[in-house]
Amino acid sequence: MFGSASKAVFHLIARSRTLKRLASRYGMRKPSSFARRFIAGETAAEAIEAARAVESRGMTVTMDLLGESITSLDKADAATRDYIAVVDAMIASGVERNISLKLTQLGLDVDKANTVDNLRKILERAEPAGFFVRIDMENSPYTEVTLEIFETLWRHGHRGIGVVLQSALHRSEQDLQTVNALGARVRLVKGAYKEPKAVAHQTKAEVDAAYARMLKTLITKGHDAAIATHDPAMIELARTIARDHHVAPDRFEFQMLYGVRRDLQAMLVKAGYRVRVYVPFGREWFPYFMRRLGERPANVMFAIRGIFGERG
Ligand SMILES: Cc1cc2nc3c(=O)[nH]c(=O)nc-3n(C[C@H](O)[C@H](O)[C@H](O)COP(=O)(O)OP(=O)(O)OC[C@H]3O[C@@H](n4cnc5c(N)ncnc54)[C@H](O)[C@@H]3O)c2cc1C
């Protein structure tokens, strides 16, 4: 994990309109453009093609139509329709039926009730077709409401949904107990956002220690655990915990981001583990892309070289 100061810088840069315009013009233009390392394409067709390639390497996928922080009801409703179209395209294509979405993409900043309606509309289309829908976790102002919406839907009988918990947040160990008690599925991550001291661990060592503790609870007491990390130490620990507690490899899965640590992905498949790749796509890729840069300094040089290469 990159330092929290640089995470903050990247979150600021992510709001820059000029940079967004520049990046959007050059980032996905050609198959070799720099953003394509992390973003599978701008259309569902391109993303499905990328998903097929991932599946051909023995892994599964979760598809993410990128978008977040929507500011009007109309846009939220349009994003919902777009998601339903993605569900339909995935059904037609035969790729695995698994999606990830963000509640601010469905209008959480505008109207909570409408967001729940929008999520229900997606679930009504996706669940009967056998989809699993993961609600991504955004930054801490949304933690409580995201878990509340999830729990409401769960209590209304929706079973094709799951949540994400971030080890960076102080509250997450307690949240893990709550979600485990419901019998629901958790994706465990370290957390991609710069968070204040009042709610979150500030050092990598603390975030990692919390991740390790949560790993043990998730693997031994969770349901279909999703261990989402590229950190070799955490992956090794997960394997050890599972072995020591006789949890078979088909009872949990590793998850990694498209374009990140493909060597580790392949190694885990070869070792007999389930690996799911998070495949993001769509035109609103800039904030997601900036979070990936914020996680690793080498990615910044890679992107800068890409921008100048494209313009030159
Ligand atoms: C499938 C999946 C879903 C996620 N969903 C969410 C979510 O809903 N909410 C949320 O807050 N966060 C989410 N994240 C992001 C997560 O919180 C972390 O920010 C991210 O995974 C980096 O942390 P790490 O566990 O890989 O470990 P780190 O300690 O950050 O990194 C360990 C090693 O992994 C490699 N690595 C990590 N990131 C990158 C990168 N961007 N590029 C290249 N190499 C890298 C490097 O080799 C690094 O040394 C998700 C991550 C994954 C894999």
Q: Model confidence over 56-114: pLDDT tens digits?
A: 999 999 999 999 889 999 999 999 999 999 999 999 999 999 999 999 999 999 999 99
The tens-digit pLDDT sequence of the chain (312 residues) is: 445 566 666 666 666 777 777 677 677 877 778 889 899 999 999 999 999 999 999 999 999 999 988 999 999 999 999 999 999 999 999 999 999 999 999 999 999 999 999 999 999 999 999 999 999 999 999 999 999 999 999 999 999 999 999 999 999 999 999 999 999 999 999 999 999 999 999 999 999 999 999 999 999 999 999 999 999 999 999 999 999 999 999 999 999 999 999 999 999 999 999 999 999 999 989 889 888 888 887 777 777 666 666 554
pLDDT of 308 reads 62
**Ligand 1 center from residue 261 Cα (angstroms):** 10
Residue in 97, 134, 136, 276 annotated catalytic? 136
- pTM of the prediction? 0.93
With a 6 A CB cut-off, is 268 part of the ligand 1 pocket?
no
CB atoms near residue 97 (< 10 Å): 19
pLDDT of 298 reads 77
pLDDT of 300 reads 75
DSSP strand E in the chain: where? 60-65, 98-101, 132-135, 161-166, 185-189, 223-228, 252-257, 275-281
Query: Which residue CA neighbors atom 27 of ligand 1 most closely?
Result: 231
Alpha-carbon distance of 222 to 27, in angstroms, equals 39
**Ligand 1 center from residue 229 Cα (angstroms):** 5
With a 6 A CB cut-off, is 7 part of the ligand 1 pocket?
no
With a 6 A CB cut-off, is 170 part of the ligand 1 pocket?
no
Alpha-carbon distance of 152 to 287, in angstroms, equals 29
With a 6 A CB cut-off, is 230 part of the ligand 1 pocket?
yes
136 is a catalytic site residue = yes
With a 6 A CB cut-off, is 123 part of the ligand 1 pocket?
no
251 is a catalytic site residue = no
Residue in 97, 134, 187, 239 annotated catalytic? 187
